[in-house]
Amino acid sequence: MSTPSLLILPGDGIGPEVMTEVRKVIDWFGAKRDLAFDVSEDLVGGAAYDKHGVPLHDDTMARAQEVDAVLLGAVGGPKYDELDFSVKPERGLLRLRKEMDLFANLRPAQCFDALADFSSLKKDVVAGLDIMIVRELTSGVYFGEPRGIFEEGNERVGINTQRYTESEIERAARAAFELAMRRNKKVCSMEKANVMESGILWREVATRVGKDYPEVELSHMYADNGAMQLVRAPKQFDVILTDNLFGDILSDCAAMLTGSLGMLPSASLGAPMANGRPKALYEPVHGSAPDIAGQGKANPIACILSFAMALRYSFDQGDEATRLENAIEAVLASGARTADLMGPEGGTPLSTAEMGDKVIEALDQSL
Ligand code: NAI
Ligand code: MG
């Protein structure tokens, strides 16, 4: 098989800073695990706007369509706040998601033991937590028609439409069941079938898809109850399947169970390509963090964990992904912390580069 290809788009703000640390990790896997990647790098967001006047050049878009996986840092920043909506940095990211048709957004919420004190919840509620939210990303109320602000009588009305076709629900559901097969074989599907027809259809289709996965235990929950259960007893879940709107909220809610934004990776997957690999974009959940950009303070772990997801979901290297996650667990257990992970007791935080070096040391230890 040919060398797997990876397109790196560092973006803006802390994006390039955290990506430098990911490059160290990628190089380590090449040198020590014989895992070579054909890596190319390009511009996205404000960085692309500065050079090309658009937040994503057509050539970059074309390259993203060809590669096995895209790894993105972050886009945006105050410098670009006044730009026209059509060329805002965020449009570059949205274009990637849309044209690659990345319909399944995977948001893990995993609690590293060393950080359990960081959660807003009690330690025993979150210690060992490892759940995965699959959010449908390309349809639903953010895209449904009709939409807009219209005149109605003598006032205006704002309209958005929650709209899901069976095939849109089906492919998101399949992504969730496939994941569950690789994990703990449990899917909880969340909607509001009690008050929304789109929810009734969602439940029906999820149930039908579930028949293809008899080993997976499927349950259904109303999304509002799901939110309650996520903060009451999150460990009851393995894979959560939900739509775009509920997934937006539930994944942010689950994310905070685990502490810092600097720790959270994500993957967005599309349909399989000719080589069987899904179209894929990996990125940390955080943004460009202008308040700390350029200061060497950013936590690179979210972006490094995003690469671990790429190893697992794009490159069939689940064992190496686990090796990387375990290395990060070991680094945290040793007490190493970037500034965002410092408790009130203080101490001296590591810089972005120092944290990257710690991860490399832990990887060396793993051999
Ligand atoms: P943000 O995620 O950039 O920052 C929120 C807070 O978390 C800040 O205090 C920041 O310092 C901290 N933080 C974020 N990542 C961190 C890391 N790795 N290590 C340590 N601390 C970290 O969100 P914010 O401030 O709302 O947005 C800033 C810019 O980023 C905006 O232009 C926004 O549009 C853009 N953005 C881009 C996203 C993306 O590229 N996917 C996602 C969210 C925001
Ligand atoms: Mg959100």
CATH number of domain containing 28: 3.40.718.10
* In a shared domain, residues 224 and 250: yes
**pLDDT for the residue numbered 119:** 81
* In a shared domain, residues 364 and 339: yes
- The structure's pTM equals 0.95
**By C-alpha distance, which of 189, 196, 171, 187 is closest to 279?**
171
* In a shared domain, residues 125 and 252: yes
Residue 344 identity (one-letter amino acid): P
pLDDT averaged over the chain?
Answer: 95
From the candidates 58, 224, 316, 364, which is the catalytic residue? 224
186-191/239-242 β-pairing: parallel
Between the CA of 286 and the centroid of ligand 2 the distance, in Å, is: 10
Residue at a domain's end among 201, 223, 258: 258
Whole-number percent of the chain with pLDDT over 90: 90
- Comparing 118-132, 133-147, 182-196, 227-241, the range with the smallest average pLDDT is 118-132
- Comparing 7-21, 89-103, 117-131, 149-163, the range with the smallest average pLDDT is 117-131
Q: Look at the chain and report how many structural domains it folds into.
A: 2
Whole-number percent of the chain with pLDDT over 70: 100
CA distance 6 to 71: 7
Substitution site in 286, 292, 340, 351 for ligand 1 pocket (most atoms within 8 Å of beta carbon): 286
Substitution site in 261, 301, 305, 306 for ligand 1 pocket (most atoms within 8 Å of beta carbon): 261
pLDDT in tens, 53-84: 999 999 999 999 999 999 999 999 999 999 99
Nearest CA to ligand 1 atom 17: 262
* In a shared domain, residues 271 and 337: yes
pLDDT in tens, 86-139: 999 999 999 999 999 999 999 999 998 888 887 888 889 999 899 999 999 999
**pLDDT for the residue numbered 345:** 74
Mean pLDDT calculated for residue range 324-341: 95
* In a shared domain, residues 3 and 106: yes
Between the CA of 74 and the centroid of ligand 1 the distance, in Å, is: 8
1 pLDDT tier (thresholds 50, 70, 90):
low
Residues 15, 75: contact at Cβ < 8 Å? yes
Is 90 exceeded by the pLDDT of residue 257? Answer: no
Is 80 exceeded by the pLDDT of residue 17? Answer: yes
* In a shared domain, residues 171 and 234: yes
Phi-psi region of 142 (alpha: psi -120 to 50; beta: other; left: phi over 0): alpha
* In a shared domain, residues 241 and 284: no
CA distance to 9, 129, 229, 255, 257, per residue, from 233 (Å) = 37, 10, 5, 14, 11
- The boundaries of the domain holding residue 316 are 1-111+260-367
The CA-based angle 200-135-287, given to 5 degrees, is 145
Which ligand 1 atom sits nearest the alpha carbon of residue 303? 18
With a threshold of 0.95, tell me whether the complex ipTM lies above it. yes
**pLDDT for the residue numbered 346:** 75
Residue at a domain's end among 212, 228, 258: 258
* In a shared domain, residues 268 and 246: no
* In a shared domain, residues 267 and 338: yes
Mean pLDDT calculated for residue range 213-218: 98
Residues 45, 89: contact at Cβ < 8 Å? yes
Mean pLDDT calculated for residue range 213-220: 98
**pLDDT for the residue numbered 118:** 77
Pocket of ligand 1 (CB under 6 A): 14, 18, 74-77, 90, 93, 261-262, 283, 286-292, 298-299, 302, 340
Which ligand 1 atom sits nearest the alpha carbon of residue 292? 11
Residue at a domain's end among 229, 258, 287: 258
* In a shared domain, residues 25 and 94: yes
Mean pLDDT calculated for residue range 18-38: 97
* In a shared domain, residues 254 and 293: no
- 158 forms beta bridges with 149
